[in-house]
């Protein structure tokens, strides 16, 4: 499919806007690492929230969701990521204020704030390179794979051409402006991306082969796909595995047990970066709350509708191969159905939707480049190699790291296959480490040896499954095995090793004020040594009520929207009422917590 001049004009206009904005803020961004990586710690909640939701609105996300909808689980297959709302709510009401109080530049700096000695330094330096370069490049490669598939279908461009153009433009933008430009462009990009995804859904549903919402809901190709909760059928092994894969294990284990970028238990990564860039604790909390509401309740349905409509047009992989014979065989997965449906867009709208997908791609990649380079600069170069260097040097190193990350992404992306495979790899790598990330704030007994053990065992387990694991092993079995082995290992190590230095534990408590019974021993010892520490106020019951209310409110809004689209107005109205009530309760309770 070829775009006409008006489509190209729209895309070019967006490129010019992004690069001009980067150039406008470049002088301010280059003043210091705090400006380049944290935008001066003076950002409002709404801008940070927009940035977070734009970052997770990656080019691969619509493809990922469409692929889930076309799979065995149908719409309910999205529980594999809907369940992550739970740790998002924990971040909002428990961890956001703690991150902001810490005052660190990156979340890896936390290691030497919380722990002491060579083990803490090793953790910080190693994870700076491990997460900032290796894992970050894998994440960006999965996102870039989506750009390759979209470009193959929409433009007929090869993988290397797409990667070269996309990487060069995004790297230039990220190197120029730092986090400030990323935040402002993210806000604009999110609006454009939502307009594009809604437009694509409207066109897809109204195709003659689909027949509007009425035709879609009655089409035989989507029979059994519309349910928002999986069927609880234990008699069929295939259905049972699907239920465990996409619903039960994500809700019972995955959300707290596994690390995943953008949904880290306890907060972390670029989510922590945004919280650290906030004006104060309230803005940090508001940013993450806004992000979770928009991420789970506002965005999914346009992608879901396109995925459902694609089943009426391309019912199987064979039909996709027939329609797009020039797309490499390894790329023809269910997620290819999303860009395939975009080929039906009219002139003009094609350019807008392409611009929205480019916006989504650039937003996500720019965030990951800035986040990854912040690790390399602050937690490796500045910490271990050049402690006394000037701010100009650190910013330069950040920009060079950005370019290197983009090159690594370009090399990895053409060798990946699907968004779902990338999701599973990242979940498995972090299986069993999530609980550590939460407990380290509230239990004095967690030490750096625990973190090192969790990181090593989870990675080795993931490698074993990738190389030696029996073929066809369900993903839920891999995840549960990884969580069990890793958790068991770090618990044993915790009781076999000594606690961290008492003075370090006391200084951490005084700065962050986490509160809770997990620090009682530290407070008692401090009082006995003549160094009493005033206990921090705790709001555990209220925080748990906020987490429950926030989860029900956002899930209620998500499902209410779905039932309105399905034409089931009774369920939609009931869920809307539940959403309103829980939102009101949430607001009142949160105001009580924030007042202290």
What is the per-residue pLDDT for 497?
94
Q: What would the mean pLDDT of 464-482 be, rounded to a whole number? A: 86
Delimit the domains of the chain by residue range.
5-416, 430-499
Number of other CB atoms surrounding residue 326 within 10 Å: 8
Token pair recorded at residue 357: 């997908």
pLDDT at 350 over 70: yes
pLDDT at 405 over 90: no
CA distances from 365 to 140, 163, 175 (A): 6, 12, 12
What is the per-residue pLDDT for 25?
59
Alpha carbon 197 to its chain's center: 19
- Structure pTM? 0.86
State pLDDT tens for residues 410-456.
Answer: 777 777 766 677 777 778 888 889 999 999 999 999 999 999 999 99
What is the rounded CA–CA span in Å between residue 479 and residue 474? 9
Containing H/E element for 29?
helix 5-29
Contacts (Cβ under 8 Å, ≥6 apart) of 330: 417
What is the per-residue pLDDT for 39?
58
Q: What would the mean pLDDT of 25-37 be, rounded to a whole number? A: 54
> Which of left, alpha, beta for 71 (phi over 0: left; psi -120 to 50: alpha)?
beta
What is the per-residue pLDDT for 567?
93
CB 275 within 8 A of CB 535: no
Closest by alpha carbon to 451, among 218, 130, 235?
A: 130
Q: What would the mean pLDDT of 269-298 be, rounded to a whole number? A: 84
Beta-bridge partner residues of 258: 431
User: What angle do helix axes 391-412 and 349-376 make, rounded to 10 degrees?
Assistant: 120
CB 212 within 8 A of CB 565: no
Which range in 6-10, 90-94, 378-382, 438-442 is most confidently predicted, on average pLDDT?
A: 438-442
Q: Which stretch of 194-198, 405-409, 563-567 has the lowest confidence by average pLDDT?
A: 405-409
As a whole number of Å, the end-to-end CA separation of the chain is 59
pLDDT at 187 over 70: yes
Which range in 161-165, 182-186, 373-377, 498-502 is most confidently predicted, on average pLDDT?
A: 498-502
pLDDT at 37 over 70: no
What is the per-residue pLDDT for 173?
62
Rounded to 5 degrees, what angle do the CA atoms 135, 181, 94 make?
60
What is the rounded CA–CA span in Å between residue 316 and residue 578? 38
> For the chain, how many residues are written?
596
Which range in 241-245, 379-383, 437-441, 585-589 is most confidently predicted, on average pLDDT?
A: 437-441
What is the per-residue pLDDT for 33?
53
Res. 395 pLDDT band, cuts 50 70 90: confident
Containing H/E element for 77?
none
What is the per-residue pLDDT for 92?
87
Helices (H), 30-135: 33-38, 45-55, 60-70, 79-82, 85-90, 96-102, 110-114, 117-129
Token pair recorded at residue 111: 């290691």
pLDDT at 113 over 90: yes
| Percentage with pLDDT > 90 across the chain | 33
pLDDT at 46 over 90: no
What is the per-residue pLDDT for 156?
75
The beta-carbon contacts of 557-562 under 8 Å, at least 24 apart in sequence, are 557/293, 557/297, 558/82, 558/296, 558/297, 558/300, 559/228, 561/297, 561/301, 562/75, 562/228, 562/301, 562/304
What is the per-residue pLDDT for 277?
81
Token pair recorded at residue 4: 């006409």
CB 557 within 8 A of CB 297: yes
Name the one residue in this structure whose structure tokens are 């549903």.
205
CB 290 within 8 A of CB 187: no
pLDDT, the chain, mean: 84
CATH topology of domain 5-416: Sodium/glucose cotransporter (1.20.1730)
What is the rounded CA–CA span in Å between residue 230 and residue 234? 11
Residue 287 CA neighbour count, 13 Å, CB half: 34
Name the one residue in this structure whose structure tokens are 């801008």.
47
Token pair recorded at residue 458: 């989870």
Number of other CB atoms surrounding residue 490 within 10 Å: 26
């Amino acid at each position: 499919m070829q775009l006409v001049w008006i489509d190209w004009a729209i895309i070019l206009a967006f490129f010019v806007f992004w690069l001009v904005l980067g150039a406008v803020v470049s002088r301010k961004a280059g003043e210091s690492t705090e400006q380049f990586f944290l935008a001066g710690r003076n950002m409002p909640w709404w801008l940070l929230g927009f940035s977070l939701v734009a970052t997770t609105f990656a080019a691969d996300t619509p493809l990922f969701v469409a692929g889930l909808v076309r799979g065995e689980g149908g719409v309910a297959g999205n529980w594999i990521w809907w369940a992550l709302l739970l740790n998002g709510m924990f971040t909002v009401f428990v961890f956001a204020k703690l991150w902001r109080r810490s005052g660190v530049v990156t979340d890896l700096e936390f290691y030497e704030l919380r722990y002491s000695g060579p083990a803490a330094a090793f953790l910080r330096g190693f994870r700076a390179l491990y997460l900032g370069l290796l894992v970050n490049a894998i994440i960006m490669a999965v996102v870039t794979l989506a750009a390759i598939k979209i470009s193959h279908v929409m433009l007929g461009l090869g993988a290397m051409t797409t990667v070269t153009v996309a990487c060069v433009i995004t790297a230039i933008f990220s190197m120029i402006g730092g986090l400030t430009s990323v935040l402002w462009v993210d806000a604009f990009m999110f609006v454009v991306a939502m307009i594009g995804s809604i437009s694509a859904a409207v066109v897809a549903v109204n195709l003659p082969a689909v027949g509007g919402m009425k035709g879609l809901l009655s089409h035989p190709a989507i029979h059994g796909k519309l349910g928002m909760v999986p069927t609880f059928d234990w008699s069929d092994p295939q259905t049972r595995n699907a239920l465990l894969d996409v619903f039960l294990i994500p809700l019972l284990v995955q959300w707290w047990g596994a690390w995943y970028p953008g949904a880290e238990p306890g907060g972390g990564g670029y989510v922590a970066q945004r919280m650290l860039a906030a004006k104060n604790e309230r803005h940090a909390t508001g940013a993450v709350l806004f992000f979770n509401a928009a991420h789970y309740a506002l965005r999914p349905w346009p992608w879901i509708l396109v995925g459902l409509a694609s089943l009426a047009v391309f019912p199987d992989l064979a039909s996709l191969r027939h329609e797009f014979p020039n797309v490499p065989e390894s790329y023809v997965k269910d997620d290819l159905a999303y860009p395939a449906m975009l080929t039906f867009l009219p002139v003009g709208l094609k350019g807008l939707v392409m611009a929205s997908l480019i916006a989504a791609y650039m937003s996500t990649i720019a965030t990951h480049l800035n986040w990854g380079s912040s690790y390399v600069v602050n937690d490796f170069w500045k910490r271990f190699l050049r402690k006394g260097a000037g701010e100009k040097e650190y910013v330069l190193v950040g920009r060079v790291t950005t370019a290197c990350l983009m090159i690594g992404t370009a090399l990895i992306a053409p060798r990946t296959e699907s968004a779902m495979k990338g999701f599973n790899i990242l979940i498995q790598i972090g299986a069993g480490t999530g609980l550590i990330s939460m407990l380290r704030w509230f239990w004095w007994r967690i030490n750096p040896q625990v973190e090192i053990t969790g990181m090593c065992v989870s990675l080795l387990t993931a490698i074993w499954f990738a190389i030696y694991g029996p073929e066809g092993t369900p993903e839920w079995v891999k995840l549960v095995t990884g969580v069990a082995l890793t958790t068991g290992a770090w618990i044993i190590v915790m009781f076999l090793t000594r606690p961290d230095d008492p003075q370090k534990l006391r200084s951490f408590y005084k700065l962050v004020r986490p509160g809770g019974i997990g620090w009682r021993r530290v407070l008692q010892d401090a009082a006995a040594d003549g160094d009493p520490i005033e206990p921090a106020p705790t709001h555990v019951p209220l925080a748990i009520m906020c987490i429950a209310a926030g989860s029900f409110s956002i899930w209620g809004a998500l499902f209410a929207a779905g039932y309105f689209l399905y034409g089931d107005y009774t369920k939609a109205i009931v869920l809307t009422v539940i959403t309103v009530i829980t939102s009101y309760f949430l607001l009142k309770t949160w105001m009580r917590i924030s007042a202290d």
